[in-house]
């Protein structure tokens, strides 16, 4: 369900775990049901609390709870860096491959890469 300005979907349910046959552990599923939208303010918040600073969408806040996932600071930084690079380099191509117009692809650019995330 969408209103004109933001997604009001039940985001906490858009996460899942997958157990592969003969696997001894569960893995986080790929992301799904994500809807980018243009930024309306300087502060970026996520739908869910993700760190010590609540819903603030920064790398620092994401890393603040890394120990709950048994990740060192270096590994957490590497994961976030890899994901950031993949998103920045592939977002336009992915949008266009799904038939998104040039105008719409450019209008949501700030939803994928924005100043202040790396703090």
> How confident is the model over 2-24, as pLDDT tens digits?
444 455 556 666 667 788 777 67
> How confident is the model over 71-83, as pLDDT tens digits?
999 999 999 999 9
Report if residue 49 sits inside a domain. yes
Alpha carbon separation from 91 to 2, 30, 68, 96, 119 (Å, rounded)? 22, 15, 29, 9, 21
Report if residue 72 sits inside a domain. yes
Report if residue 23 sits inside a domain. no
> How confident is the model over 20-50, as pLDDT tens digits?
777 678 877 777 667 777 766 777 888 778 8
| Whole-angstrom distance, CA of residue 116 vs CA of residue 56 | 11
Report if residue 86 sits inside a domain. yes
Number of domains in the chain: 1
Domain span at 68: 36-112
- Give how far the C-alpha of residue 30 lies from the chain's centroid of Cα atoms, to the nearest Å: 11
> How confident is the model over 89-107, as pLDDT tens digits?
999 999 999 999 999 998 8
Report if residue 52 sits inside a domain. yes
């Amino acid at each position: 369900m969408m209103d004109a300005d933001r997604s009001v979907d039940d985001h906490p349910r858009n996460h899942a775990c997958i157990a592969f046959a003969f696997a001894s552990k569960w893995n986080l599923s790929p992301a799904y049901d994500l809807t980018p939208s243009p930024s309306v303010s300087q502060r970026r918040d996520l739908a869910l609390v993700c760190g010590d600073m609540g819903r603030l969408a920064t790398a620092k806040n994401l890393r603040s709870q890394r120990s709950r996932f048994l990740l060192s600071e270096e590994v957490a930084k590497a994961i976030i860096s890899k994901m950031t690079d993949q998103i920045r380099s592939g977002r336009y191509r992915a949008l266009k491959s799904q038939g998104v117009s040039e105008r719409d692809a450019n209008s949501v650019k700030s939803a994928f890469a924005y100043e202040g995330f790396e703090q």
